Amino acid sequence: MVFSSTIFIFIYLPIALMLYYITPFKWRNLVLLIENLVFYGWGEPVYVFLMLASVAVDYFLALMIERSHNKGEKGKKWLIISIIINIGLLVLFKYLTFICDTLNALFSLNIALKMNIVMPIGISFYTFQKMSYVIDVYRNDCKAQHSFTAFGTYVSLFPQLIAGPIVKYRDVAEQMETRNTSVDKFSDGVCVFIVGLCKKVLLANSIGILWDTLYNSGNLSVLGAWLAVAAFTFQIYFDFSGYSDMAIGLGKMLGFEFKENFDYPYISKSATEFWRRWHISLSTWFREYVYIPLGGNRKGKLRWYINILIVWAATGLWHGASWNFIAWGLFYAFWLIIEKLFLLKHLEKGRILPHIYAILIAMLGWALFACNSLSEGLTLIGSMFGIGVSALASQSDIFYLVSYMPLFVILIIASSPLVKNAFLCIPEKSRNVLTLILCLFGLILCTASIISSGYNPFLYFRF
Protein backbone atom coordinates (compact mmCIF):
# COMPACT_ATOMS: atom_id res chain seq x y z
CA MET A 1 0.00 0.00 0.00
CA VAL A 2 1.37 3.39 -0.95
CA PHE A 3 0.28 6.83 0.21
CA SER A 4 -0.48 7.94 -3.35
CA SER A 5 -3.27 5.42 -3.86
CA THR A 6 -7.02 5.75 -3.54
CA ILE A 7 -7.26 2.76 -1.19
CA PHE A 8 -4.89 4.48 1.25
CA ILE A 9 -6.33 8.00 0.98
CA PHE A 10 -10.02 7.15 1.04
CA ILE A 11 -10.22 3.84 2.92
CA TYR A 12 -7.23 2.96 5.09
CA LEU A 13 -6.37 6.47 6.34
CA PRO A 14 -9.91 7.59 7.37
CA ILE A 15 -10.52 4.28 9.19
CA ALA A 16 -7.10 4.39 10.88
CA LEU A 17 -7.59 7.99 12.04
CA MET A 18 -11.13 7.32 13.27
CA LEU A 19 -10.07 4.28 15.31
CA TYR A 20 -7.05 6.16 16.63
CA TYR A 21 -9.01 9.17 17.86
CA ILE A 22 -11.93 7.29 19.41
CA THR A 23 -9.46 5.25 21.46
CA PRO A 24 -8.43 6.52 24.93
CA PHE A 25 -4.85 7.78 24.86
CA LYS A 26 -3.40 4.99 27.01
CA TRP A 27 -4.46 2.45 24.35
CA ARG A 28 -3.53 4.49 21.28
CA ASN A 29 -0.05 3.00 20.90
CA LEU A 30 -1.59 -0.47 20.77
CA VAL A 31 -4.20 0.59 18.20
CA LEU A 32 -1.51 2.33 16.19
CA LEU A 33 0.71 -0.75 16.33
CA ILE A 34 -2.10 -2.89 14.92
CA GLU A 35 -2.77 -0.30 12.21
CA ASN A 36 0.94 -0.23 11.35
CA LEU A 37 1.03 -4.01 10.96
CA VAL A 38 -2.08 -3.98 8.76
CA PHE A 39 -0.48 -1.29 6.58
CA TYR A 40 2.81 -3.17 6.26
CA GLY A 41 1.21 -6.56 5.85
CA TRP A 42 -1.11 -5.36 3.09
CA GLY A 43 1.44 -6.26 0.44
CA GLU A 44 3.82 -8.55 2.32
CA PRO A 45 2.01 -10.30 5.22
CA VAL A 46 4.78 -12.87 5.75
CA TYR A 47 7.37 -10.17 6.43
CA VAL A 48 5.30 -8.75 9.28
CA PHE A 49 6.62 -11.64 11.37
CA LEU A 50 10.20 -10.88 10.35
CA MET A 51 9.82 -7.26 11.40
CA LEU A 52 8.18 -8.21 14.71
CA ALA A 53 10.92 -10.74 15.44
CA SER A 54 13.66 -8.19 14.76
CA VAL A 55 11.80 -5.64 16.91
CA ALA A 56 11.61 -8.16 19.75
CA VAL A 57 15.34 -8.87 19.53
CA ASP A 58 16.36 -5.21 19.75
CA TYR A 59 13.77 -4.53 22.45
CA PHE A 60 15.29 -7.31 24.58
CA LEU A 61 18.93 -6.36 23.84
CA ALA A 62 18.32 -2.71 24.76
CA LEU A 63 16.90 -3.85 28.11
CA MET A 64 19.98 -6.02 28.63
CA ILE A 65 22.22 -3.02 27.92
CA GLU A 66 20.26 -0.94 30.42
CA ARG A 67 20.58 -3.73 33.00
CA SER A 68 24.35 -3.81 32.38
CA HIS A 69 24.52 -0.04 32.95
CA ASN A 70 22.71 -0.47 36.27
CA LYS A 71 25.42 -2.97 37.26
CA GLY A 72 28.18 -0.54 36.31
CA GLU A 73 28.97 -2.38 33.07
CA LYS A 74 28.88 -1.09 29.48
CA GLY A 75 26.86 -3.92 27.94
CA LYS A 76 29.02 -3.85 24.82
CA LYS A 77 28.39 -7.52 24.01
CA TRP A 78 24.65 -6.87 23.70
CA LEU A 79 25.33 -3.96 21.34
CA ILE A 80 27.59 -6.14 19.18
CA ILE A 81 24.93 -8.87 19.03
CA SER A 82 22.34 -6.30 17.93
CA ILE A 83 24.58 -4.90 15.20
CA ILE A 84 25.47 -8.38 13.92
CA ILE A 85 21.82 -9.45 13.76
CA ASN A 86 20.65 -6.25 12.06
CA ILE A 87 23.46 -6.18 9.51
CA GLY A 88 23.02 -9.93 9.04
CA LEU A 89 19.35 -9.48 8.12
CA LEU A 90 20.26 -6.74 5.64
CA VAL A 91 22.93 -8.95 4.09
CA LEU A 92 20.55 -11.92 3.85
CA PHE A 93 17.61 -10.10 2.31
CA LYS A 94 19.31 -7.29 0.39
CA TYR A 95 22.92 -8.12 -0.42
CA LEU A 96 23.37 -11.90 -0.53
CA THR A 97 22.57 -12.25 -4.22
CA PHE A 98 24.88 -9.32 -5.02
CA ILE A 99 27.70 -10.84 -2.97
CA CYS A 100 27.33 -14.22 -4.67
CA ASP A 101 27.22 -12.67 -8.15
CA THR A 102 30.32 -10.58 -7.38
CA LEU A 103 32.26 -13.57 -6.07
CA ASN A 104 31.24 -15.62 -9.11
CA ALA A 105 32.43 -12.87 -11.46
CA LEU A 106 35.73 -12.19 -9.66
CA PHE A 107 36.85 -15.74 -8.96
CA SER A 108 35.03 -17.70 -11.71
CA LEU A 109 32.94 -19.49 -9.10
CA ASN A 110 29.49 -20.99 -9.51
CA ILE A 111 27.75 -20.12 -6.28
CA ALA A 112 24.00 -20.56 -6.77
CA LEU A 113 21.33 -19.55 -4.28
CA LYS A 114 18.72 -22.26 -3.80
CA MET A 115 16.10 -19.94 -2.42
CA ASN A 116 14.31 -16.98 -3.96
CA ILE A 117 15.06 -14.08 -1.64
CA VAL A 118 12.66 -11.14 -1.86
CA MET A 119 13.72 -7.97 -0.06
CA PRO A 120 11.13 -6.84 2.53
CA ILE A 121 9.88 -3.33 1.79
CA GLY A 122 11.36 -0.71 4.11
CA ILE A 123 13.93 -3.03 5.72
CA SER A 124 16.74 -0.50 5.16
CA PHE A 125 14.77 2.21 6.94
CA TYR A 126 13.44 0.32 9.94
CA THR A 127 16.74 -1.53 10.47
CA PHE A 128 18.60 1.78 10.76
CA GLN A 129 15.97 3.05 13.20
CA LYS A 130 16.38 0.01 15.45
CA MET A 131 20.16 0.21 15.28
CA SER A 132 20.18 3.90 16.24
CA TYR A 133 17.92 3.10 19.22
CA VAL A 134 20.17 0.35 20.60
CA ILE A 135 23.30 2.45 20.02
CA ASP A 136 21.72 5.43 21.78
CA VAL A 137 20.75 3.27 24.76
CA TYR A 138 24.34 1.99 24.88
CA ARG A 139 25.65 5.58 24.78
CA ASN A 140 23.15 6.69 27.45
CA ASP A 141 21.68 9.16 24.94
CA CYS A 142 18.22 7.76 25.70
CA LYS A 143 16.59 5.35 28.11
CA ALA A 144 15.45 1.90 27.07
CA GLN A 145 11.74 1.65 26.29
CA HIS A 146 10.15 -0.89 28.67
CA SER A 147 6.88 -1.12 26.76
CA PHE A 148 7.11 -3.52 23.83
CA THR A 149 3.98 -1.93 22.39
CA ALA A 150 5.53 1.55 22.44
CA PHE A 151 8.80 0.34 20.93
CA GLY A 152 7.02 -1.71 18.29
CA THR A 153 4.86 1.30 17.45
CA TYR A 154 7.98 3.47 17.03
CA VAL A 155 9.66 1.02 14.65
CA SER A 156 6.56 0.18 12.61
CA LEU A 157 4.95 3.65 12.53
CA PHE A 158 3.21 3.58 9.16
CA PRO A 159 3.87 7.20 8.09
CA GLN A 160 7.63 6.58 7.91
CA LEU A 161 7.87 2.77 7.91
CA ILE A 162 8.59 2.02 4.26
CA ALA A 163 10.43 5.14 3.08
CA GLY A 164 11.52 7.22 6.04
CA PRO A 165 12.45 9.74 7.11
CA ILE A 166 14.71 7.78 9.45
CA VAL A 167 13.44 8.84 12.88
CA LYS A 168 15.80 8.39 15.83
CA TYR A 169 14.07 7.11 18.94
CA ARG A 170 15.48 9.84 21.17
CA ASP A 171 13.74 12.44 18.98
CA VAL A 172 10.31 10.91 19.61
CA ALA A 173 10.81 9.24 23.01
CA GLU A 174 8.57 11.71 24.82
CA GLN A 175 6.01 11.55 22.02
CA MET A 176 5.69 7.80 22.52
CA GLU A 177 4.47 8.50 26.04
CA THR A 178 2.45 11.64 25.44
CA ARG A 179 1.78 13.69 22.33
CA ASN A 180 -0.24 16.78 21.69
CA THR A 181 -3.11 16.72 19.24
CA SER A 182 -5.23 19.66 18.16
CA VAL A 183 -7.42 20.78 15.30
CA ASP A 184 -4.73 23.20 14.10
CA LYS A 185 -2.02 20.53 14.16
CA PHE A 186 -4.27 18.03 12.40
CA SER A 187 -5.25 20.51 9.67
CA ASP A 188 -1.60 21.49 9.25
CA GLY A 189 -0.81 17.80 8.80
CA VAL A 190 -3.52 17.45 6.16
CA CYS A 191 -2.06 20.39 4.22
CA VAL A 192 1.49 19.05 4.39
CA PHE A 193 0.25 15.63 3.26
CA ILE A 194 -1.58 17.09 0.27
CA VAL A 195 1.46 19.19 -0.72
CA GLY A 196 3.53 16.00 -0.68
CA LEU A 197 0.84 14.15 -2.62
CA CYS A 198 0.86 16.87 -5.29
CA LYS A 199 4.66 16.66 -5.52
CA LYS A 200 4.47 12.92 -6.02
CA VAL A 201 1.46 12.57 -8.30
CA LEU A 202 1.40 15.79 -10.31
CA LEU A 203 5.13 16.52 -10.61
CA ALA A 204 7.21 13.35 -10.09
CA ASN A 205 4.86 11.09 -12.05
CA SER A 206 4.49 13.59 -14.89
CA ILE A 207 8.22 14.03 -15.50
CA GLY A 208 8.93 10.37 -14.73
CA ILE A 209 7.14 9.40 -17.93
CA LEU A 210 9.78 11.31 -19.91
CA TRP A 211 12.62 9.55 -18.10
CA ASP A 212 11.10 6.11 -18.72
CA THR A 213 10.43 6.91 -22.37
CA LEU A 214 13.94 8.14 -23.11
CA TYR A 215 15.77 5.57 -20.98
CA ASN A 216 13.97 2.69 -22.68
CA SER A 217 14.30 4.15 -26.18
CA GLY A 218 17.71 2.62 -26.90
CA ASN A 219 20.48 4.75 -28.37
CA LEU A 220 20.24 8.30 -27.05
CA SER A 221 21.45 11.50 -28.66
CA VAL A 222 23.34 14.08 -26.59
CA LEU A 223 20.16 16.12 -26.13
CA GLY A 224 18.16 13.00 -25.33
CA ALA A 225 20.66 11.95 -22.65
CA TRP A 226 20.58 15.36 -20.98
CA LEU A 227 16.77 15.44 -21.15
CA ALA A 228 16.57 11.95 -19.62
CA VAL A 229 18.90 12.79 -16.74
CA ALA A 230 17.17 16.14 -16.14
CA ALA A 231 13.84 14.30 -15.99
CA PHE A 232 15.15 11.77 -13.46
CA THR A 233 16.78 14.57 -11.44
CA PHE A 234 13.39 16.14 -10.87
CA GLN A 235 11.48 12.86 -10.63
CA ILE A 236 13.54 11.47 -7.75
CA TYR A 237 13.42 14.77 -5.86
CA PHE A 238 9.67 15.27 -6.07
CA ASP A 239 9.03 11.55 -5.62
CA PHE A 240 11.05 11.21 -2.42
CA SER A 241 10.56 14.69 -0.94
CA GLY A 242 6.86 14.35 -1.70
CA TYR A 243 6.74 11.03 0.15
CA SER A 244 8.67 12.57 3.06
CA ASP A 245 6.18 15.45 3.20
CA MET A 246 3.31 12.98 3.24
CA ALA A 247 5.01 11.11 6.11
CA ILE A 248 5.52 14.32 8.08
CA GLY A 249 1.91 15.34 7.45
CA LEU A 250 0.58 11.95 8.55
CA GLY A 251 2.75 12.20 11.65
CA LYS A 252 1.16 15.53 12.52
CA MET A 253 -2.31 14.04 12.11
CA LEU A 254 -1.35 11.45 14.73
CA GLY A 255 0.30 13.98 17.04
CA PHE A 256 3.94 13.30 16.09
CA GLU A 257 6.56 15.79 14.99
CA PHE A 258 9.13 14.51 12.50
CA LYS A 259 12.10 16.56 11.35
CA GLU A 260 12.30 17.84 7.78
CA ASN A 261 14.05 15.50 5.36
CA PHE A 262 14.65 17.90 2.47
CA ASP A 263 15.58 21.58 2.35
CA TYR A 264 15.56 22.62 -1.31
CA PRO A 265 18.73 20.69 -2.25
CA TYR A 266 18.80 21.95 -5.85
CA ILE A 267 19.59 25.50 -4.75
CA SER A 268 22.89 24.29 -3.28
CA LYS A 269 26.25 25.78 -4.25
CA SER A 270 28.33 22.66 -3.56
CA ALA A 271 28.10 18.91 -3.11
CA THR A 272 28.74 19.51 0.60
CA GLU A 273 25.71 21.78 0.86
CA PHE A 274 23.65 19.43 -1.29
CA TRP A 275 24.07 16.66 1.29
CA ARG A 276 23.10 19.01 4.10
CA ARG A 277 19.82 19.51 2.26
CA TRP A 278 19.11 16.10 0.64
CA HIS A 279 17.74 13.13 2.62
CA ILE A 280 18.81 14.84 5.83
CA SER A 281 17.83 11.95 8.11
CA LEU A 282 20.09 9.50 6.23
CA SER A 283 23.15 11.75 6.05
CA THR A 284 22.66 12.59 9.74
CA TRP A 285 22.47 8.86 10.58
CA PHE A 286 25.71 8.05 8.79
CA ARG A 287 27.46 11.03 10.36
CA GLU A 288 26.40 10.14 13.91
CA TYR A 289 26.70 6.35 13.78
CA VAL A 290 29.49 5.72 11.25
CA TYR A 291 31.58 8.81 10.42
CA ILE A 292 32.11 10.11 13.97
CA PRO A 293 32.77 6.64 15.49
CA LEU A 294 35.40 6.08 12.76
CA GLY A 295 37.16 9.21 13.99
CA GLY A 296 35.68 11.82 11.68
CA ASN A 297 38.29 14.46 10.95
CA ARG A 298 40.06 14.10 14.31
CA LYS A 299 42.81 11.63 13.34
CA GLY A 300 44.73 13.37 10.60
CA LYS A 301 43.93 14.19 6.97
CA LEU A 302 44.64 10.75 5.51
CA ARG A 303 42.36 9.03 8.01
CA TRP A 304 39.78 11.76 7.42
CA TYR A 305 39.67 11.06 3.68
CA ILE A 306 39.55 7.31 4.26
CA ASN A 307 36.60 7.82 6.63
CA ILE A 308 34.80 9.84 3.96
CA LEU A 309 35.37 7.09 1.40
CA ILE A 310 34.08 4.42 3.81
CA VAL A 311 30.98 6.40 4.75
CA TRP A 312 30.05 7.22 1.17
CA ALA A 313 30.70 3.73 -0.13
CA ALA A 314 28.36 2.54 2.66
CA THR A 315 25.83 5.25 1.75
CA GLY A 316 25.82 4.08 -1.85
CA LEU A 317 25.54 0.43 -0.82
CA TRP A 318 22.65 1.29 1.53
CA HIS A 319 20.69 2.49 -1.49
CA GLY A 320 21.06 -0.73 -3.40
CA ALA A 321 22.98 -3.96 -3.95
CA SER A 322 24.66 -2.93 -7.18
CA TRP A 323 28.01 -1.48 -8.25
CA ASN A 324 26.40 1.62 -9.72
CA PHE A 325 25.17 2.61 -6.24
CA ILE A 326 28.64 2.10 -4.78
CA ALA A 327 30.11 4.14 -7.64
CA TRP A 328 27.50 6.84 -6.95
CA GLY A 329 28.57 7.00 -3.29
CA LEU A 330 32.29 7.11 -4.18
CA PHE A 331 31.55 9.77 -6.81
CA TYR A 332 30.23 12.02 -4.05
CA ALA A 333 33.13 11.07 -1.76
CA PHE A 334 35.54 12.29 -4.45
CA TRP A 335 33.84 15.65 -4.82
CA LEU A 336 33.42 16.14 -1.07
CA ILE A 337 37.15 15.53 -0.58
CA ILE A 338 38.02 17.91 -3.43
CA GLU A 339 35.78 20.55 -1.89
CA LYS A 340 37.33 20.11 1.54
CA LEU A 341 40.85 20.31 0.07
CA PHE A 342 40.47 23.60 -1.79
CA LEU A 343 37.28 24.05 -3.82
CA LEU A 344 34.69 24.87 -1.15
CA LYS A 345 36.19 28.22 -0.16
CA HIS A 346 35.96 29.37 -3.77
CA LEU A 347 32.42 28.06 -4.26
CA GLU A 348 31.18 29.93 -1.20
CA LYS A 349 32.32 33.24 -2.73
CA GLY A 350 30.57 32.73 -6.05
CA ARG A 351 26.95 33.35 -7.01
CA ILE A 352 25.82 31.75 -10.26
CA LEU A 353 28.67 29.38 -11.20
CA PRO A 354 28.57 27.44 -7.89
CA HIS A 355 24.87 26.67 -8.43
CA ILE A 356 25.60 25.43 -11.96
CA TYR A 357 28.47 23.33 -10.62
CA ALA A 358 26.31 21.78 -7.87
CA ILE A 359 23.42 20.88 -10.18
CA LEU A 360 25.84 19.35 -12.72
CA ILE A 361 27.39 17.21 -9.98
CA ALA A 362 23.91 16.14 -8.88
CA MET A 363 22.86 15.27 -12.45
CA LEU A 364 25.99 13.22 -13.14
CA GLY A 365 25.42 11.42 -9.86
CA TRP A 366 21.80 10.68 -10.75
CA ALA A 367 22.93 9.28 -14.12
CA LEU A 368 24.89 6.63 -12.21
CA PHE A 369 22.11 6.15 -9.68
CA ALA A 370 19.18 5.82 -12.08
CA CYS A 371 20.45 3.01 -14.28
CA ASN A 372 20.20 -0.73 -13.71
CA SER A 373 23.96 -1.30 -13.75
CA LEU A 374 27.28 0.53 -13.59
CA SER A 375 27.94 -0.06 -17.30
CA GLU A 376 24.57 1.47 -18.22
CA GLY A 377 25.26 4.45 -15.98
CA LEU A 378 28.67 5.07 -17.54
CA THR A 379 27.16 4.70 -21.00
CA LEU A 380 24.51 7.29 -20.14
CA ILE A 381 27.13 9.73 -18.86
CA GLY A 382 29.14 9.13 -22.02
CA SER A 383 26.08 9.93 -24.12
CA MET A 384 25.69 13.23 -22.27
CA PHE A 385 29.13 14.23 -23.55
CA GLY A 386 28.82 12.85 -27.07
CA ILE A 387 30.62 9.53 -26.53
CA GLY A 388 29.08 6.65 -28.48
CA VAL A 389 26.11 8.64 -29.80
CA SER A 390 24.97 8.93 -33.39
CA ALA A 391 23.65 12.50 -33.24
CA LEU A 392 23.60 15.64 -31.15
CA ALA A 393 19.79 15.67 -31.24
CA SER A 394 16.95 13.81 -32.90
CA GLN A 395 13.59 15.11 -34.03
CA SER A 396 11.87 13.24 -31.22
CA ASP A 397 14.24 14.79 -28.66
CA ILE A 398 13.44 18.28 -29.92
CA PHE A 399 9.74 17.42 -29.74
CA TYR A 400 10.17 16.24 -26.12
CA LEU A 401 12.14 19.37 -25.25
CA VAL A 402 9.45 21.68 -26.59
CA SER A 403 6.58 19.62 -25.16
CA TYR A 404 8.04 19.31 -21.67
CA MET A 405 9.54 22.80 -21.42
CA PRO A 406 6.54 24.26 -19.50
CA LEU A 407 6.73 21.36 -17.02
CA PHE A 408 10.48 21.85 -16.61
CA VAL A 409 9.87 25.52 -15.79
CA ILE A 410 7.29 24.51 -13.17
CA LEU A 411 9.69 21.94 -11.72
CA ILE A 412 12.53 24.46 -11.48
CA ILE A 413 10.32 26.94 -9.67
CA ALA A 414 8.81 24.26 -7.41
CA SER A 415 12.25 22.98 -6.38
CA SER A 416 13.18 26.43 -5.06
CA PRO A 417 11.74 28.36 -2.08
CA LEU A 418 10.19 31.00 -4.38
CA VAL A 419 6.61 29.72 -4.10
CA LYS A 420 6.84 29.26 -0.33
CA ASN A 421 8.30 32.73 0.21
CA ALA A 422 5.68 34.34 -2.02
CA PHE A 423 2.90 32.48 -0.22
CA LEU A 424 4.13 33.68 3.18
CA CYS A 425 3.87 37.29 1.96
CA ILE A 426 0.09 36.94 1.71
CA PRO A 427 -1.85 38.24 4.77
CA GLU A 428 -2.63 35.42 7.22
CA LYS A 429 -6.44 35.46 6.87
CA SER A 430 -6.26 35.39 3.09
CA ARG A 431 -3.54 32.76 3.28
CA ASN A 432 -5.74 30.46 5.37
CA VAL A 433 -8.61 30.67 2.86
CA LEU A 434 -6.24 30.19 -0.07
CA THR A 435 -4.65 27.17 1.66
CA LEU A 436 -8.04 25.50 2.02
CA ILE A 437 -8.92 26.14 -1.64
CA LEU A 438 -5.55 24.93 -2.92
CA CYS A 439 -5.63 21.80 -0.76
CA LEU A 440 -9.08 20.81 -1.97
CA PHE A 441 -8.13 21.55 -5.57
CA GLY A 442 -4.84 19.64 -5.19
CA LEU A 443 -6.60 16.61 -3.68
CA ILE A 444 -9.13 16.56 -6.53
CA LEU A 445 -6.42 16.82 -9.18
CA CYS A 446 -4.32 14.10 -7.56
CA THR A 447 -7.30 11.78 -7.21
CA ALA A 448 -8.23 12.29 -10.85
CA SER A 449 -4.64 11.65 -11.90
CA ILE A 450 -4.31 8.48 -9.81
CA ILE A 451 -7.61 7.08 -11.16
CA SER A 452 -6.98 7.97 -14.81
CA SER A 453 -3.29 7.02 -15.00
CA GLY A 454 -1.71 3.64 -14.44
CA TYR A 455 1.69 5.31 -13.98
CA ASN A 456 2.33 5.71 -10.26
CA PRO A 457 5.79 4.31 -9.40
CA PHE A 458 7.59 4.92 -6.12
CA LEU A 459 11.37 4.97 -6.61
CA TYR A 460 12.41 4.43 -3.00
CA PHE A 461 10.49 1.16 -2.60
CA ARG A 462 13.58 -0.67 -3.85
CA PHE A 463 15.64 0.64 -0.94
Residues with a catalytic annotation lie at 319
Phi and psi at residue 152, in whole multiples of 5°?
-65, -35
- Residue 165, preceding bond cis, omega within 30 degrees? yes
Q: Whole-angstrom Cα distance, residue 385 to residue 390?
A: 12
Which bin fits 218, alpha (ψ -120 to 50), beta or left (φ > 0)? left
| Residues 306, 289 contacting (CB under 8 angstroms) | no
| Residues 377, 371 contacting (CB under 8 angstroms) | yes
| Residues 235, 204 contacting (CB under 8 angstroms) | yes
3-state secondary structure the chain: CCCCCHHHHHHHHHHHHHHHHHCCHHHHHHHHHHHHHHHHHCCCCHHHHHHHHHHHHHHHHHHHHHHHHHCCCCCHHHHHHHHHHHHHHHHHHHHHHHHHHHHHHHHCCCCCCCCCCCCCCCHHHHHHHHHHHHHHHHCCCCCCCCCHHHHHHHHHCCCCCCCCCCCCHHHHHHHHHCCCCCHHHHHHHHHHHHHHHHHHHHHHHHHHHHHHHHHCCCCCCHHHHHHHHHHHHHHHHHHHHHHHHHHHHHHHHCCCCCCCCCCCHHHCCCHHHHHHHCCHHHHHHHHHHHHHHHCCCCCCHHHHHHHHHHHHHHHHHHHCCCHHHHHHHHHHHHHHHHHHHHHHHHHCCCCCHHHHHHHHHHHHHHHHHHCCCHHHHHHHHHHHCCCCCCCCCCHHHHHHHHHHHHHHHHHHHHCCCHHHHHHHCCCHHHHHHHHHHHHHHHHHHHHHHHHHCCCCCCHHHHC
Q: Whole-angstrom Cα distance, residue 6 to residue 158?
A: 16
